[in-house]
Every structure is written in structure tokens, then in C-alpha cells.
Amino acid sequence: MPDPPDESPVVHIVDDDPDLGDGLSSVLRSVGLNARAYRSTVDFLRADDLDAPGCIVLDIRLPGTNGLDFQAELVRLGVPLPVILMTGHGDIPMSVRAMKAGAVDFLPKPFRDQDMIDAVTAAINRDRLQRASEQQAVAIVDRYVTLSPREREVMALVTAGKMNKQIAGELGLSEVTVKIHRGAAMRKMGARSLAELVRMADTLKNRTR
Amino acid sequence: MPDPPDESPVVHIVDDDPDLGDGLSSVLRSVGLNARAYRSTVDFLRADDLDAPGCIVLDIRLPGTNGLDFQAELVRLGVPLPVILMTGHGDIPMSVRAMKAGAVDFLPKPFRDQDMIDAVTAAINRDRLQRASEQQAVAIVDRYVTLSPREREVMALVTAGKMNKQIAGELGLSEVTVKIHRGAAMRKMGARSLAELVRMADTLKNRTR
DNA sequence: AATGTCATCACACGAAGGTATGGTCGGTGA
DNA sequence: TCACCGACCATACCTTCGTGTGATGACATT
């Protein structure tokens, strides 16, 4: 069920100038990268491999959409690919806004091929790191959702450092029952020690927040 | 021994144009902020309140020093104050470089007073958050350094989730001795539960790394 | 020489954690 | 209706943890 082991990264180029898209594609392919060009954000969103590792190279001025707004849109849509922005008519406030929003880089046109290659390399690297921690976090959430409500309550108190006796008191249970839920939580979460369970709980907390 | 409870934040303005320094100072004072102007980075480094909360507003083009290089220099010197950069003759790559290096904002001159006020507010806020987590981390390190070598070894294995018996085996000790070191570590670290100790260990690991 | 810290261990006991057996109760879906 | 699951509890037993008492030896400081 896991995807075919690490597909090679795809660079999605979104620019309404086909010459630039083609040129950039061949430059990136020349360094062994998989590149794909789109004429608009709509075309891009229709692509089927948005879940594959990679990054996005986005022109700021596009028909219909503003590149900066689209950057925010991507977050909203749950597309976590790192973004590199480029523009022919940008200014400093624009670039600052983009960087604040998490862009990997912001390149004024014309740029040197090497600069774009460096930016794309950095972006793909960032994506790789993101994916690694994301994947680990998802595995933990997957296990967490199999816990019953009571097991979750007990797990929360256990990882807060409380003793079984205290937990029993707070939840109005007997100590034995707490132990049962606690044991079930450990088993379902796949934690081989309390320390592991604590770290999993912290990972869960830092998600979505 | 802790500093007088939260001194109010100081905005350090570094610009070789005294008019700008004075003007900006009064603008910031008008919104209740403590501002201080310097003509050069050297003057700034001679200031005595670099440890107080606040931020730095730095011109890029300064006599002798480049603002971007100085930004890196500050990190090297261990001055953790957030930096806002401003410039009369900047370009996009410059702003991108600054943002990548962690600048809070990058304002082209002339800028609107309100934009600078917003940037300074954001910077001071970032500083406040940084200080909070830094202070907590330092408290943990302070306690950690009081541990004997053995106690540190045992703490590492305990927080890795190992049982006393295993630890005794790995270190070639009797289980009793492990318990003693373990207890000492808990006491010295001020941890009231294993969960707390695990989190402290994680905080220690994430420091300096 | 005296003091203090670190490190080590034995013995012992009570507290806390973990698991198993066996049983009750209520809700859900086949 | 039956089977299943979540939640609950008691009794029992074993393991692990925490701490105290008492003791030894090394090494550094005063």
C-alpha cells in the first residue's frame, strides 16, 4: 500500500509563456530532473501527480490568478509542495511577502539557469525533509485513531506524567481499569516504552497546531 | 538574580543618516516604544543593553559594513535580536537573501511609518517568543550541567525508554546503582515524572543542533 | 588530615506498573 | 436474536520502580 518506493521528484512549472516553460523544462531535465510545464494554475491543478515529491516553479503574473494568492491557495488545498516564485515585473515588497508566506526562493526574470537549478534543488530537499516528518506523523495519527475515547483520555493523562492512581481518581475509575486502557493504548500505538508514548503524544500535539 | 522583571523592549536603529534615526525614533516613541539610534554597527555593538528584549532596524548600506553581512555577524556574536532591514538602493535578490537569513522584514526606503511600526511590532513579538522558549531551555541546561557523568549516561538511557535492568547490563552496573543515578537525575532535573524527564531530554537534544 | 563528591553495591520494603482470569452491562450491526 | 465491542470492575500475581540504611573505595579540595 505504500507508494512505489520514492518516485523521482517532479518539478511543476506554471507559466503562461510556453517558451519559458519549454526552456526551463529542458534545463531541468539536463540535470536529471523530471519537469512538467503548465500554461495556467488550472491546468496545474488538473495534474494527477500532485502527491508525488517535487516542487512548484510559479510565475507571479498569470492569467486570472495572482501567483502570491495562488501560493496561499495551495496551502488551503493541502498541496504541501514547496514553491519557487519568478517574475518579470516584481518589486521588493512582493518578494518579501512571498518569502514570509514560505516560498523557497523568488527569482526575477531573467535569471541564470544555475540559480534556478539551485533553487529547485533546495526546494526538493525541503520537500524531502517535510515528507519524512510528515510520513512519520501520519503513521502515528493512523494508530491514534484506532484508540477508543477512553483510551485517548487515559493516554493523555499518562503522557502528562500522572500515575494510574491519580488518573483513576480524575476519571472516576478503578485503578485496574486505567491499567487496562493504558495497556491497550501502548499496544495500539506500538509504543515499546513510556518514553516512546510520550514522544508520540507530543508529535500528535504539534500536528494541526 | 533574574533581570528586573521584563524590561520594556528596545528598538535599536542603525543608520548613518542621523535624520532618519531621529525621525524613526520619534515615530516609534509615539507608539510607546523605547528607541535608540546609532550611526554605525560599531556604535551599536558598544551599547550595553543588547541583552534586553527588542529588535534591530538596520540599514543595508553602512560605512564599512554591509548590512547583510552584519546580519550574519550578529548570529555569530550570539546576539539573538530579530532584524529588520531597510535600504534605499536594494533589489530583489538582496531582500530574498535577507529573508532567507531570518530577517523579519525588508523595507525599501522611503517606507510608510505604519509599515515600520508593523514590522517592529512583529519583530518584538518574535523576540518575545524566542525568549520564552530560550529561557525555558536555559533553565533545563542549567540543571543538566549539575549532573555527574554517570547520571547523564543513565538519564540518556532512561529517556530512551530502557528499563533499569537493561541499563545496568549496558553500563556494567548493578540495578541498584542505576536506580540511585536515576533518582539523582530526576531530583537534580526537577522532573516530577518520567514524562517530564523525557521532554527535558528532548529539549536538550534540540538545543545546539 | 579532614571534608566532600562520585561511584559502587547489598539488603529490604513498599509503591506503582503490567497482565491474566473471569465476569457485568449497554449499544450496534448482521 | 446473536455476536461483537467498548467500558467497567475484582482478585491475584509478578515485575519494575523508588527509597532508605549501611558500607567501601577513589580522588580532589581545603
Minimum CA–C1' distance nucleotide for B163: D16
What integer is the mean pLDDT of A79-89?
95
pLDDT reported for residue A207: 80
Residues 88-147 of A with CB under 8 A from B: 90-93, 95-96, 99-100, 105-106, 108
Query: What is the value of pTM for the model shown?
Result: 0.87
Q: Is the pLDDT of residue B161 over 60?
A: yes
pLDDT reported for residue A5: 44
Touching check for A25 and chain B: CB below 8 Å? no
Q: Is the pLDDT of residue B1 over 70?
A: no
DSSP letter (8 states) at residue A205: H
**Across the interface, which of A99, A192, A196 has its CB nearest the CB of B96?**
A99
Helix (H, G, I), strand (E, B) or coil at A2: coil
pLDDT, averaged across chain A: 92
Helix (H, G, I), strand (E, B) or coil at A27: helix
What band does A2 get if pLDDT is binned at 50, 70 and 90? very low
Whole-angstrom distance, CA of residue A37 vs CA of residue A18: 8
Q: Is the pLDDT of residue B203 over 50?
A: yes
Nucleic strand D near CB of residue A32 (< 7 Å): no
Whole-angstrom distance, CA of residue A66 vs CA of residue A44: 14
The cell for A3 is 507508494
User: CB of A108 within 8 A of CB of A85?
Assistant: no
Convert B72-94 to b/e letters by CB count within 10 Å (16 or more is b). eebeeeeeebbbbbbbeebebeb
**For B144, how many CA atoms within 13 A lie in the half-sphere containing its CB?**
21
What integer is the mean pLDDT of A5-24?
89
What band does B6 get if pLDDT is binned at 50, 70 and 90? low
pLDDT reported for residue A48: 81
**Nearest C-alpha in B relative to A84:** B96
**Across the interface, which of B93, B100, B194 has its CB nearest the CB of A194?**
B194
The cell for B10 is 528596545
pLDDT reported for residue A208: 57
Tell me the pLDDT tens digit for each residue of A118-159: 999 999 999 999 999 999 999 999 999 999 898 999 999 999
**Nearest C-alpha in A relative to B108:** A92
B102's CB contacts (< 8 A; 6+ apart) are: B71, B75, B82, B83
What integer is the mean pLDDT of B32-56?
92
What integer is the mean pLDDT of B62-89?
91
Q: Is the pLDDT of residue A103 over 70?
A: yes
Q: Is the pLDDT of residue A64 over 90?
A: no
What integer is the mean pLDDT of A51-79?
91
Tell me the pLDDT tens digit for each residue of B105-157: 999 999 999 999 999 999 999 999 999 999 999 999 999 999 999 999 999 99
pLDDT reported for residue A1: 42
pLDDT, averaged across chain B: 92
> CA angle, B33 as apex, B18 and B42 as ends, to 5°?
40
What band does B164 get if pLDDT is binned at 50, 70 and 90? very high
List residues bridging with A59 in a β-sheet. A86
Tell me the pLDDT tens digit for each residue of A155-208: 999 999 999 999 999 999 989 999 999 999 999 999 999 999 999 999 999 885
Q: Is the pLDDT of residue B2 over 70?
A: no
User: Which of A29-38, A63-72, B84-93, B113-122 shows the lowest mean pLDDT across its residues?
Assistant: A63-72
What integer is the mean pLDDT of A34-63?
92
